[in-house]
Chain A
Amino acid sequence: MNDMNDQTRVTGAKRYAAGVMKYAQMGYWEPDYEPKDTDIIALFRITPQDGVDAIEAAAAVAGESSTATWTVVWTDRLTASEKYRAKAYRVDPVPNSPGEFFAYIAYDLDLFEGGSIANLTASIIGNVFGFKPLKALRLEDMRLPTAYVKTFQGPATGIVVERERLNCYGRPLLGATVKPKLGLSGRNYGRVVYEALKGGLDFTKDDENINSQPFMHWRDRFLYCMEAVNRASAATGEVKGTYLNITAGTMEDMYERAEFAKQLGSIVVMIDLVIGYTAIQSMAKWARANDMILHLHRAGHSTYTRQRSHGVSFRVIAKWMRLAGVDHLHAGTVVGKLEGDPATTKGYYDIFREEFNPMALENGIFFDQDWASLNKMMPVASGGIHAGQMHQLISYLGEDVVLQFGGGTIGHPHGVSAGATANRVALEAMVYARNAGRDIWNEGPDILRDAARTCTPLKQALDTWKDVTFDYTSTDQPDYAPTPEVTA
């Protein structure tokens, strides 16, 4: 019916003749379109099937994620279809990746319900990800207009108020996940919490899959953990917390657990990403109403964030979670055991913590993003990190971050409390040295050795883990190098 390469829009009555028409011809490709300030913009990495034109593929993505179906429907004419059609307006080849293209697509704000991640994602990552003409599709980034950002609550507490509640300023917070993650009884579990907090940590954490199992039911865990938290607080004079994981099979169960955590005086509760966007937003609303810090463990995200060709980039998940309203979210360590190269991770941290993100292709950030005074989210760095890396962690991640040393606390040769003290001394020594003008990146190992002279647990930690690193090539790196030609 149509010439394969003809992307000219068909207009007038012909546009609505019954039958099949190319998406570009239907109006989903508008190369001259200038996105409005109120448009939501999505950037997809598309990999068309062999023989499928990139522009047609981009138009198809725009169509399938907005108003289109596979055939022309006359009922479009009952609507202001021009407005509701998403518009692919730019397609660029991905540098050094034959067959892949970046497609920029603009969506009118009226396509979305305010304050609903579920509604946003049902369009943007809905049916379109299974669309046959594409081999693969990845949502790389989104530009969220201020008008839309303002329909969300945002982080229940935020970095500033979290610090005020904890009475802790000017240094990263320290945490540890209780290990082994499965099998401890409530009483034994609380012992680890007490030792770690007394030794110098600010937080301990349930792991993602600690809910209510035969070896430890949730009420038992909560009661023993709060005994540990309060004992440690009295022993140190510091505010302490433990992320009580309230993830459960139903919202009713989660609310019950959250209420019990509140009744016991916990300052923080925790949920897993796998509970879903609506459940996350509900708990964020509850957390705001009950003065609770809300920790989100990103369980499951690597199933769709890790591979470059298909899925959703973690930077997009980070943006959605800042809208949805969590306070803590894991964001990578750069140096630890889990995925994350320095440039990409910096992009994530900026999304969490800044008021405004300027476009930074070298960090994988494709759009200016104004956060419109939504609270800042506290990034959490966890997974295979230890005291000997403190200078690298602070250099890469800054001070508004929770550094979580699970094995690096509990695996200390002289016990949990010694492990916690080692980490706290390393942390304070490094922040002190940075503020005093030392070059911690290069002098870090010396600074740690000096601090270990008056702290045996730190010396033991440094001797045990020496320079353990996880040096593997990242599967997800920025596509653009920071050269003037590209970023200009």
Chain B
Amino acid sequence: MKVTQGQFSFLPDLTDDQIRQQAQYAIDKGWAVSVEYTDDPHPRNTYWEMWGHPMFDNPDAAAAVFEVNECRKAHGSKYIRVIAFDASPGWESIRMCFIVNRPAQEPGFRLVRQEGEGRVVRYTIESYAVREPEGARYV
């Protein structure tokens, strides 16, 4: 399977130059770009690990691509995403988010059904990867 979170998961993988273009779009809007990685791509895993702080004062997207590649060196077998954060009033939230790195094999998710009364089913989604402890996933 392929985890299709983010803006561009249905497109062919982005090249470094394409990542730079998208990051520059964010920077030109005044948004801070940051890089995050995880080994648990559960749809509600909100807090991926931060690869440094958001680059609030960075005018050049090349620096963002540099950080993506540094993160790949350390966590190349995991999911890595680029995020753009908008601090303007009424938003103060993420405005862009796209995956730029993913494991060679994506095992996907297990759907656990707990049958209750009246045909009600309680659903749990679990990443197969998290059956291994942190640090031992996707290696």
A binding-site residues for B, Cβ under 8 Å: 160, 163-164, 167-171, 200, 223, 226-227, 230-231, 233-239, 263-265, 355, 373, 376, 421, 424-425, 428-429, 431-432, 435-437, 451, 454-455
Contact = CB atoms under 8 A, between A and B. Distances in A.
Given A170-B97, A436-B18, A226 B109 contact: no
A426 B108 CA distance: 25
Which 3 A/B pairs are nearest by Cβ-Cβ distance? A237-B3, A170-B96, A435-B25
Interface in B83-136: 83-84, 89-98, 108-111, 119-123, 125
B11 interface: yes
A233 B125 contact: yes
A436 B43 contact: no
Contacts of B84: 170
A167 B43 contact: yes
A234 B25 contact: no
Contacts, number: 111
Which of A236, A263, A421 counts the most B-chain CB atoms under 10 A from its CB?
A: A236
Contact of A227 (B8, B10, B121): B121
A323 to B, nearest CB: 17
Contacts of B125: 230, 233-234
A236 B42 CA distance: 10
A169 B1 contact: no
Contacts of B83: 169
B52 interface: no
Contacts of B122: 265
A169 B11 contact: no
Contact of B98 (A170, A236, A238, A454): A170
Contacts of B9: 428
B112 to A, nearest CB: 9
Given A164-B94, A226-B121, A236-B3, A200 B10 contact: yes
A215 B22 CA distance: 48
A431 B25 CA distance: 11
Contacts of A436: 18, 21-22, 25
Contact of B4 (A230, A237, A355): A237
Contacts of A167: 5, 43-44, 46, 97
Contacts of B121: 223, 226-227, 264
A196 B120 CA distance: 23
B7 A223 contact: no
B7 A431 contact: yes
Contacts of B91: 160
A239 B43 contact: yes
A223 B120 contact: yes
The size class of the interface chain B forms with chain A is 35 or more
Contact of A169 (B10, B21, B95): B95
B18 A233 contact: no
A428 B11 contact: yes
B10 A226 contact: no
A238 B125 CA distance: 11
A386 B129 CA distance: 37
A227 B125 CA distance: 12
A187 to B, nearest CB: 12
Nearest to A424: B10
A233 to B, nearest CB: 6
Interface string B1-30: 101110111111000001001100100000
Nearest to A164: B93
Which of A170, A200, A437 counts the most B-chain CB atoms under 10 A from its CB?
A: A170
Nearest to A421: B10
Nearest to B11: A428
Contacts of A171: 7
B113 to A, nearest CB: 8
A223 B5 contact: no
A165 to B, nearest CB: 9
Contacts of B1: 235-237
A163 B22 contact: no
B119 to A, nearest CB: 6
A309 to B, nearest CB: 36
A438 to B, nearest CB: 10
A189 to B, nearest CB: 15
A428 B92 contact: no
A235 B8 CA distance: 17
Contacts of B22: 432, 435-436
A421 B93 CA distance: 28
B7 to A, nearest CB: 5
Nearest to A222: B120
A326 B66 CA distance: 43
A166 B121 CA distance: 22
A226 B119 CA distance: 12
B93 A163 contact: yes
Contact of B111 (A231, A238, A265): A231
B94 A169 contact: yes
Contact of A432 (B7, B46, B90, B119): B7
Contacts of B3: 236-238
A428 B111 contact: no
Contacts of A233: 43, 109, 125
Contacts of A435: 21-22, 25, 96
B12 A454 contact: yes
Which of A373, A428, A435 counts the most B-chain CB atoms under 10 A from its CB?
A: A435
B123 A230 contact: yes
Contacts of A373: 90
B59 to A, nearest CB: 17
